[in-house]
């Protein structure tokens, strides 16, 4: 097939590489403009741009899909436009260009978790199952009919980072299997059930600060959902203390949200990998496994309390 690919982050890379492997004719790759990486540092290239440059593919980086850009797109005469986390909304004039439409690789089982952060939303919601959807794009946010779906189990260890990688590979596989069937007229697009639709939202940096009045299981979900960005953190001695890995534990009666305690086990000593220190919450205890104090390296919570003896018994603050 003659196609245009639109994508930006790491999630999009397996789909682009799979299209190249399947010997589709990628006539152009669209990705977001280079971003400033930090003070005094060079511009950061998107993961998709790096692949396009390495493969010698025609590369476009418009800040927006202007009328002039739409004409350039149309002049490429694509059979289909494949989109995977591009980062821009495609205007109707672009959606109408390819005869086989614009196909999106979305990391959720639509209509659940439409929007910009479906992977984090699935973890925050406590879902045990998510997946990938190949859909035809229409006007509206992720509202188009579905061509194919594949489920994926969310493990208790999954973070947004690890789950995104799994779904990226699953999406590439499903895309490769779906495109020839769609071209061959074998698929009937299935409308989404609007009554079952839910929406995710962009995560703000400040959402990572832990409110210890929440239930331990909710905080645990946030630790996983906000990894790698923005990360979950609390404050200790005026510095940020990142909670990199945690586990929810039972706890009843007399809990003081934010109070640090030693974790006791009925069998005596904890097993390897079990929490030895926890923080009381609004319901239950959050066992700490890996932490990182501002300006320091990441270490196990057990090592942290060996160097910070007065951490036990401290009361960690919640956002005001």
Q: What is the pLDDT of residue 36?
A: 81
What does pLDDT average to over the chain? 95
Q: Which residues, other chains included, contact 207 with Cβ-Cβ below 8 Å and sequence gap of 6+? A: 222, 226, 230
Cβ burial of 61 (10 Å; 0-12, 13-18, 19+) is: middle
Q: What are the DSSP calls for 167-215, one per residue? A: HHHHHHHHHHHHHHHHHTT----B---GGG--B--PPPGGGGB--TTSB
- Contact (Cβ atoms closer than 8 angstroms) between residue 255 and residue 261: no
List the single range of 122-126, 183-187, 269-273, 305-309 with lowest mean pLDDT: 269-273
Among the listed residues 240, 250, 216, 222, the one whose alpha carbon sits nearest the alpha carbon of residue 291: 240
Cβ burial of 131 (10 Å; 0-12, 13-18, 19+) is: buried
- Contact (Cβ atoms closer than 8 angstroms) between residue 20 and residue 26: yes
Q: Which domains are assigned to the chain?
A: 2-196 (3.40.50.170), 205-311 (3.10.25.10)
pLDDT tens profile 25-39 = 999 999 999 988 766
Distances from the Cα of 274 to the Cα of 195, 293, 297, angstroms? 42, 20, 21
């Amino acid at each position: 097939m003659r196609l245009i690919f639109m994508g930006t982050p790491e999630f999009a890379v397996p789909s682009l590489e799979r299209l190249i492997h399947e010997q589709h004719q990628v006539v152009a790759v669209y990705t977001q403009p280079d971003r400033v990486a930090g003070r005094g540092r060079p511009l950061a290239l998107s993961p998709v741009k790096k692949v396009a440059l390495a493969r010698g593919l025609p590369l476009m980086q418009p800040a927006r899909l202007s009328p002039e850009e739409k004409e350039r797109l149309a002049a490429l005469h694509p059979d289909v436009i494949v989109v995977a986390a591009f980062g821009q909304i495609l205007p109707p004039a672009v959606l109408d260009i390819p005869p086989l439409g614009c196909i999106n690789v979305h990391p959720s089982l639509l209509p659940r978790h439409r929007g910009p952060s479906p992977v984090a939303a699935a973890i925050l919601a406590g879902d045990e199952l998510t997946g990938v959807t190949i859909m035809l794009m229409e006007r509206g946010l992720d509202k188009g009919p579905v061509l194919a779906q594949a489920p994926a189990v969310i493990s208790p260890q999954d973070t947004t980072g690890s789950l995104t990688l799994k779904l990226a590979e699953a999406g590439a596989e499903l895309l490769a299997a779906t495109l020839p069937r769609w071209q061959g007229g074998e698929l009937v697009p299935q409308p989404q059930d609007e009554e079952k639709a839910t929406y995710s939202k962009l995560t703000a940096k400040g959402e990572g600060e832990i409110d210890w009045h929440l239930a331990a299981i909710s905080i645990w979900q946030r630790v996983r959902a906000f990894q790698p960005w923005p990360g979950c953190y609390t404050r200790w001695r005026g510095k940020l203390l990142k909670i990199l890995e945690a586990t929810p534990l039972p706890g009843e009666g007399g809990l003081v949200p934010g109070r640090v305690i030693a974790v006791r086990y009925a069998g005596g000593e904890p097993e390897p990998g079990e929490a030895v220190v926890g923080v009381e919450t609004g319901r239950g205890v959050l066992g700490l496994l890996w932490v990182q104090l501002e300006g320091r390296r990441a270490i196990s919570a057990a090592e942290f309390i060996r160097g910070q003896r007065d951490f036990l018994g401290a009361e960690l603050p919640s956002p005001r």
